[in-house]
Amino acid sequence: MVRKKMMAANWKMYKNVAETREFFREFLPLVAGHERDEIVVCPPYVDVPAAVESVKASQVAIGAQDVHWKDEGAFTGEISPRMLADVGCTHVIVGHSERRQYFGETDDSVNLKLKAALGHGLTPIVCVGEVLEEREAGLTEDVLRRQCARAFHAISAKKAAKLVIAYEPVWAIGTGKTATPEMASEAHVLIRGEAAKVFGEDFAQQLRILYGGSVKPENAKALMAEPEIDGALVGGASLAVKSFVAIVKY
- Which of 53-61, 110-118, 145-153, 206-214 is the region at the interface with ligand 13P (rule: CB under 6 A)? 206-214
Whether the Cβ atoms of residue 148 and residue 195 lie closer than 8 Å to each other: yes
The region, left, alpha or beta by phi > 0 then psi within -120 to 50, assigned to residue 4 is beta
Task: Select from 37, 66, 168, 194 the one that contacts ligand 13P (CB under 6 A).
Answer: 168
Asked if 103 touches ligand 13P (CB under 6 A), the answer is no
Asked if 164 touches ligand 13P (CB under 6 A), the answer is no
Pick 174 or 200: Cβ nearer ligand 13P? 174
Shortest gap between Cβ of 66 and ligand 13P (angstroms)? 12
Pick 29 or 174: Cβ nearer ligand 13P? 174
Asked if 44 touches ligand 13P (CB under 6 A), the answer is no
Asked if 214 touches ligand 13P (CB under 6 A), the answer is yes
> 173 CB contacts (<8 Å, ≥6 apart)?
97, 98, 129, 212, 213, 214, 235
The angle, 0 to 180 degrees and rounded to 10, between the axes of the packed helices 140-152 and 181-199 is 40
Pick 181 or 213: Cβ nearer ligand 13P? 213
DSSP symbols for 64-131: ES---SSSSSS-TT---HHHHHHTT--EEEES-HHHHHHS---HHHHHHHHHHHHHTT-EEEEEE---
Query: Minimal CB distance to ligand 13P: which residue?
Result: 235
Task: Select from 235, 243, 247, 248 the one that contacts ligand 13P (CB under 6 A).
Answer: 235
List phi, psi (to 5°) of 99. -70, -40
Shortest gap between Cβ of 177 and ligand 13P (angstroms)? 9
Q: What is the CA radius of gyration of the chain?
A: 17
Shortest gap between Cβ of 4 and ligand 13P (angstroms)? 20
Residue 227 burial class via C-beta count within 10 angstroms: exposed 0-12, middle 13-18, buried 19 and up: exposed
- Which of 25-33, 114-122, 190-198, 230-238 is the region at the interface with ligand 13P (rule: CB under 6 A)? 230-238
* CA atoms of 7 and 235, how far apart (whole Å): 11
- Which of 101-109, 113-121, 148-156, 234-242 is the region at the interface with ligand 13P (rule: CB under 6 A)? 234-242
Active-site residue list: 96, 168
* CA atoms of 222 and 229, how far apart (whole Å): 10
Asked if 185 touches ligand 13P (CB under 6 A), the answer is no
Task: Select from 44, 49, 217, 236 the one that contacts ligand 13P (CB under 6 A).
Answer: 236
# chain residues binding ligand 13P, by CB under 6 A: 14
Asked if 73 touches ligand 13P (CB under 6 A), the answer is no
Interface residues toward ligand 13P, by CB under 6 A:
10, 96, 168, 173-174, 212-215, 233-237
